[in-house]
Copies of this chain bind each other. A is one copy, B any other.
Amino acid sequence: MSSKVTGNAVIGQSGGPTCVINQSLVGAIIEAKKHPEIQKFYGALHGVKGILNENFIDLGAQDTAALEKVANTPSAALGSVRKKPTEEECKKIVEIFKKNNIRYFFYIGGNDSAETADIINQLALKSGYDLTSFHIPKTIDNDLLVTDHCPGYGSAAKFVAMAIMGDNLDNGAIPGIKVNVIMGRHAGFLTAASALGRQHENDGPHLIYVPEIPFSKEKFIQDVKDVYNRLGRCQIAVSEGISDGKGNPIFQSGVKDAHGNVQLSGSGGLGDMLIELIKQNIHGKLRARADTFGYLQRCFPCIVSESDAEEARRVGEFAVKSAVESDLKDGSVAIKTTGLFITPLHSVAKNTRGMPRDYMNEEGNNVTEKFLAYARPLVGKLPEIGKLKI
Contact partner of A166 (CB less than 8 A), chosen from B59, B167, B299, is: B299
Shortest Cβ distance from residue A40 to the other chain B in the assembled complex, whole angstroms: 15
Given A300-B162, A301-B165: A77 in contact with B295 (beta carbons within 8 A): no
Shortest Cβ distance from residue A148 to the other chain B in the assembled complex, whole angstroms: 27
- A256-298 residues at the B interface, CB under 8 angstroms: 265-269, 271-272, 275, 288-296, 298
Expressed in whole angstroms, the Cα–Cα distance for A141 and B27 within the complex equals 42
A364 neighbours in B (Cβ, 8 Å)? none
Expressed in whole angstroms, the Cα–Cα distance for A384 and B383 within the complex equals 23
Expressed in whole angstroms, the Cα–Cα distance for A66 and B387 within the complex equals 7
Closest to A61 in B: B389
Number of copies: 2
- The stretch that binds B, out of A67-75, A89-97, A116-124, A340-348, is A67-75
- A336-390 residues at the B interface, CB under 8 angstroms: 383-390
Given A66-B389, A300-B162: A170 in contact with B268 (beta carbons within 8 A): no
Expressed in whole angstroms, the Cα–Cα distance for A22 and B170 within the complex equals 12
Interface residue A204 (Cβ < 8 Å from any Cβ of B): no
Shortest Cβ distance from residue A114 to the other chain B in the assembled complex, whole angstroms: 19
Interface residue A331 (Cβ < 8 Å from any Cβ of B): no
Q: Could you tell me if A75 and B296 are in contact, using CB atoms closer than 8 angstroms?
A: no
Given A57-B389, A79-B172: A291 in contact with B289 (beta carbons within 8 A): no
- A31-65 residues at the B interface, CB under 8 angstroms: 43, 45-46, 57, 59, 61-63
A166 neighbours in B (Cβ, 8 Å)? 19, 74-75, 295-296, 299-301
> What 1/0 flags go to A152-180 for Cβ under 8 Å of B?
00000000001101110110111000100
Q: Could you tell me if B172 and A302 are in contact, using CB atoms closer than 8 angstroms?
A: no
Interface residue A80 (Cβ < 8 Å from any Cβ of B): yes
A289 neighbours in B (Cβ, 8 Å)? 265-267, 294-295
Q: Could you tell me if B292 and A388 are in contact, using CB atoms closer than 8 angstroms?
A: no
Closest to A161 in B: B301
Contact partner of A291 (CB less than 8 A), chosen from B19, B81, B296, B302, is: B296
Given A169-B17, A289-B295, A299-B169: A386 in contact with B267 (beta carbons within 8 A): no
Could you list 23 examples of A-B contacts with CB < 8 Å?
A46-B173, A66-B389, A73-B169, A73-B386, A74-B166, A77-B387, A78-B388, A79-B172, A79-B173, A80-B173, A162-B302, A163-B296, A165-B301, A166-B295, A166-B299, A170-B295, A170-B298, A265-B289, A266-B289, A267-B271, A267-B290, A291-B292, A302-B383
